[in-house]
Amino acid sequence: MLDLATAPGVRAHKPDKLRELGIMSLNGMFDEMDGVAVLRQAVEELLVDDLAIVSSFGADSSVLLHMVSEVNKDLPVYFLETGKHFPETLEYVETLKRQLGLTNVIALTPDSKDILRFDPKGDLWETDPDSCCHIRKTEPLDAAVSGYGGWVTGRKRYQTKERGVLPHFELTSDDRIKVNPLAYFSDADITTYKLKYGLPEHPLYNKGYKSIGCAPCTSVVAEGEDPRAGRWRGLNKKECGIHFDFNGAIAKPMAAQELTLFKDGAFVADPFRAWTEGDDPASVRYTHVPLPVFLENREAILSNPHPLGLLVSPGDNVELVQADLGRFASIAINFPAFGDGRGYSSSRLLAERYGYKGELRAVGDVLHDQISHMRRCGMNAFVVKHEPTRKALEAGKLALVDIFYQPVGLTEVPLGTRPFLRRAVENA
């Protein structure tokens, strides 16, 4: 038996080197193993009576749950009953329980006080989905699994670019082990496994839902799209937060006055934080990594499975990261002082020349008068700490400037024949 769990009762501390090494060697040993062997190792050797299964009872859940039934039908299986599921998903929970003989499926519901306080109208998913996931998923799951040394997920590498380096075993920052028996399964492996064991499909799967979560945040996926493209479609959100870490590295539900990120016309919870000295490039998550730090740790950061952002400050050469821009869900352009305009050029290069399509946010000294210029240069989110600017944005009173010394893009091509003079451009 592998002796990784040297102190299973100890929580909330940085993983020690030995455990990290243990996890690395486990991944080496189990790289070639099939999913059931990985699960059996976790259940019978690594975390005996100390492991929980978490299942969404979504499109592919039958595969992991079938493996669970093969290993031990009495293992605790937690289902996040957010109150927002499709009725078909609730039916499917019962179908799988019955067919696989699972005896210990436990529905986790959100705290009613949180719902009353943060989502009294039931529309938080629309205005602030990170906080909605936080109160409906992360908080209930954290509470339930806090007594376990590890948990099992059904995540797979092929699902998204962010999951592309998912290992079989992960060590979380609070020293628990996440087990991903299906990490190396392909889409075809899932289909083959379902057919081999005659597993029932989720009732919505054949209607085009390839990844199924809560009803308001799930849509049909077109042929050739990323299977998770139908989740939070149109939002810069790929995960619900439960997979970042046990202690939840995503935004906590916040009072309106604490929200500083202005995006899509509203102040919303910000899942990102700033890079701090001592952060580990290989495991940090939801952090804007300064561009020089990225260049120094490029391999580690590209192998880091978590969502990340990039921080571009004056003097940074964005051309050096041109090939890696797709790695970042968000790029923060730093404006350390009102009079420093270098961030405008960086933003234009990223958006116009290099075609970056993700979130481009302005951070630092972001003031009311600058925002329309920032938008012209491609920025689509703004971290606002200046109270008058916040009030103006909340009131929808954004200063518009229609005289441009330096036109940008196609719509601002200077009128007339003397482009070196200031021009007024209508309807800019």
Using CB under 6 A, list all residues that contact ligand SF4: 82, 84, 125, 129, 132-133, 136-137, 213-214, 216-217, 240
Closest listed residue to residue 146, CA positions, set 50, 42, 239:
50
Q: Whose CA is closest to 108, among 57, 176, 67?
A: 57
217 assigned binding-site residue: yes
Q: Is 377 a catalytic residue?
A: no
Given the residues 240, 284, 321, 392, the one annotated as active site: 240
Q: Which residue is nearest to ligand SF4 (CB)?
A: 214
CA dihedral 234, 237, 240, 246 (to 10 degrees): 180
- Of 268 and 393, nearer to ligand SF4 (C-beta) is 268
Q: In three state form, how does the secondary structure of 6-41 look?
A: CCCCCCCCCCCHHHHHHHHHHHHHHCCCCHHHHHHH
Query: Would you say 133 is a known binding-site residue?
Result: yes
Q: Look at the alpha carbons of 13, 18, 19, 23 in this order and tell me if their dihedral is positive or negative.
A: positive
- Of the pair 216, 407, the CB lying nearest ligand SF4 is at 216
Report the residue number, 114 or 279, with the smaller CB distance to ligand SF4: 114
Smallest gap from Cβ 117 to ligand SF4, in A, equals 15
Closer to ligand SF4 at the Cβ: 199 or 217?
A: 217
Question: Which tokens belong to 186?
Answer: 């392909």
Q: Give the Cα separation of 123 and 127 in Å (integer).
A: 7
For residue 252, the minimal CB distance to ligand SF4 (Å) is 14
Helix H, strand E, coil C: the string for 250-300 is CCCCCCHHHCCEEECCEEECCCCEECCCCCCCCCCCCEEEEHHHHHHCHHH
**Closest distance of CB 134 from ligand SF4, Å:** 8
Minimal distance, residue 225 CB to ligand SF4, in Å: 18
Residue 58 or 343: which CB sits closer to ligand SF4? 58
Neighbours of 29 (CB within 10 A): 14
Minimum CB separation of residue 99 from ligand SF4 in Å reads 26
3-state secondary structure string across 318-338: HHHHHHHHHHEEEEEEEECCC
Q: Binding site: which residues?
A: 132-133, 214, 217
Q: Binding site for [4Fe-4S] cluster: which residues?
A: 132-133, 214, 217
**Known catalytic residues?**
240
